[in-house]
A and B are shown apart, each in its own frame.
Chain A
Amino acid sequence: MSLLALQRDMRDWLVREDLIAAGRMGASAGPGLVVYQNNYRAQLVECLESSFARTRAWIGDEAFFHSAVHHIESVPPSSWTLDAYGRDFPATLARLHTQDPEIGEIASIELGLEELFVAADSTVIALEKLDNIDWDRAVLTFALSTRFLELRTNAFAIWSALVDEKEPPVSRNLDAPQVVLLWRQGEKCRMRPIDDAECQALRDLRSGMSFGALCRDVTLFCGEQKGVALVGQWLGLWLSDHLIVAIKDDWSAQPRTSSYL
């Protein structure tokens, strides 16, 4: 048997307990094959338990274990890093628990935080660099770790209660989707729900819109006084949260209409 054929047999034994493939490795291999399969499954279950502790607390050990076993049987690991194995688990949970959509969403929050933990570092912008900025032409760069998570249930409230070891609320669908902003401030993973206006502003700025164009759009929509106050409030928050990592004076920045309106 070639090495490639042997390795495929071993994979088939591990993934789907293929007894014919196991038999080709010889009768004496039996006890050893059992050890390798136990190691394989135990390690993947442990990985999911470690990555999705709040989800496990929400659905209970038994339901979590069954979900993990289903995932392991249907999604073999493919990445060199075990940390990546949980990436598809929220989708598996969503498929398995269609009547309880908050389960997959709680898992998505946990996955998002785990990815945030090792996301690329960003530099912090020095406040003295803000002095001479032409804000009309300024183009903002946001932390590389910045991402959005859209939730259709009150999963964020449930997750927050689980973290705080408080009684979680009863799960329910939201009237409108809630967007949660995730980013890392230094080594600290941060997360907060944002409203539609801030979400759209962030999406526009991250796609290259100048700060001046955003101000014009928001004041058109909200009125001069309220619009300026709102954008100023966002800017202060984004700076203090270390979401903004660079501000470029872009001579080519032209006023343009955003999807904000």
Chain B
Amino acid sequence: MSTRLTPGESATLVRDAAGGDRHSWELLVDSYAGLIWTIARNHRLGQADAGDVSQTTWLRLVEHIGSIDDPARVGAWLATTARRECLRVIGRGSKTFPVADAGPLADGRPHHDPEIDAALLGDERDAEVQRALLGLSPRCRQLLHLLMLDPPASYDEISAAMGMPIGSIGPTRGRCLDRLQGLLAMRGIAEPARSVLDGDSH
């Protein structure tokens, strides 16, 4: 159960923990552990990777606790650190692709396509879809994974995580979806609607 802290309370706990007060650290953990865990799970990380992200985030706070610019906003600091670590884990290459939890393959705009939902999210096709996704290159899998996060990663975040120029993301997304479409077709799965693959303006 998390305790909601005021900015002033957060700042006090950060300063006291930096001074070696263990109880202050415990209160920080109790207040923000849920936030970090939620961020990791919302990035579709498995339990083990999410646990590593959580632990690494807290260890990073230990490293920097004496030098955070704004201790009152330690929650935002933890959230940013956790998110960056999630993107690093994804960039290392996920072993599985979270098809069952996938949202629409949107490029940041509200977009829902029933055809791609049916093609990719149907329960009875998950195994075939998983195999098709594994047929993509690691970079395509990483890109599509980031685009399917909830909320989706921004193009800035994708560019930073993958070292890809922002202008390349749309065309690369298109090529990856084309490749996926071909792999799905080989498995007898109906093609996703072309409207999902067209029009990369961002």
Task: Decide whether A and B are members of one complex.
Answer: no
Q: Which residues of A contact B (CB under 8 A)?
A: none
